[in-house]
Chains A and B, each alone.
Chain A
Amino acid sequence: QQQVKQSPQSLIVQKGGISIINCAYENTAFDYFPWYQQFPGKGPALLIAIRPDVSEKKEGRFTISFNKSAKQFSLHIMDSQPGDSATYFCAPLEYGNKLVFGAGTILRVKS
């Protein structure tokens, strides 16, 4: 059972453009919605996260949009930079500590 569907698998964006990655989930018990960022040779690290009682959260150039009724949330990277090139994972979790990872999106920002 695939609880989390992430799209696209890969994304190429020009420097200064907007990167958008989407995540759809099925489990209504998820109560926290983070995005993790992974650089080559490193472990994933928390980038930004949102609780289900808000529809949007912005931290610098990174924004999460959350649609509870559609069971979707997305990551927007404004003014994308080459340093943003990484793999991004949505990883919602239920009450407790288990994150359920999406398959990942490889982002490449061309300079």
Chain B
Amino acid sequence: EAQVTQNPRYLITVTGKKLTVTCSQNMNHEYMSWYRQDPGLGLRQIYYSMNVEVTDKGDVPEGYKVSRKEKRNFPLILESPSPNQTSLYFCASSLPRQGGIRRTGELFFGEGSRLTVL
């Protein structure tokens, strides 16, 4: 089954305790991205990766790190979490849209990781 898998699904932690949210996809997608979802703000992009070893900042990258050492995995790292990073996090993947190829860029999302930082 084609899917994006995130872990953990739920996490409560304390300020300053480093944590990693893992993301893995089995669709051989080059493009992967992390979003956070907050009420009234929709989904905002944190980081994205066009391919292995290629990552770039999204709209709200402060306080987060990512790495893309393998095509299927794209972990999100919070080095020193703070309460304002309490949110619902989504990993997503897609095929890249390329010139001359009418791909849609449809994003496939994981089921989300709800993080609470006390």
Contacts and interface: CB of A to CB of B under 8 A. Distances in A.
Interface of A: 4, 6, 9, 32, 34, 36, 41-46, 49, 89, 91, 93, 95-99, 101-104
Interface of B: 4, 31, 33, 35, 40-45, 48, 50, 58, 90, 92, 94, 96-97, 99, 104-112
Given A89-B42, A97-B31, A104-B42, A43 B106 contact: no
A97 B33 CA distance: 9
Nearest to A42: B111
A43 B44 contact: no
Contact of A103 (B4, B40, B92, B97): B40
Given A9-B40, A34-B104, 20 more contacts: A32-B105, A41-B111, A44-B109, A45-B108, A46-B104, A46-B106, A46-B107, A49-B104, A89-B43, A93-B97, A93-B105, A95-B99, A96-B96, A96-B97, A97-B97, A98-B33, A99-B105, A99-B107, A101-B44, A104-B42
A61 B21 CA distance: 37
Nearest to B41: A103
A98 B48 contact: yes
B42 A43 contact: no
16 contacts: A36-B107, A41-B112, A43-B4, A43-B90, A43-B112, A45-B108, A46-B104, A93-B97, A97-B50, A98-B48, A99-B43, A101-B35, A101-B43, A101-B44, A103-B40, A104-B42
Given A34-B106, A49-B104, A43 B111 contact: yes
A95 B97 CA distance: 7
> Which 8 residue pairs spanning A and B have beta carbons closest together?
A43-B109, A101-B42, A101-B43, A103-B42, A97-B31, A46-B106, A97-B105, A43-B90
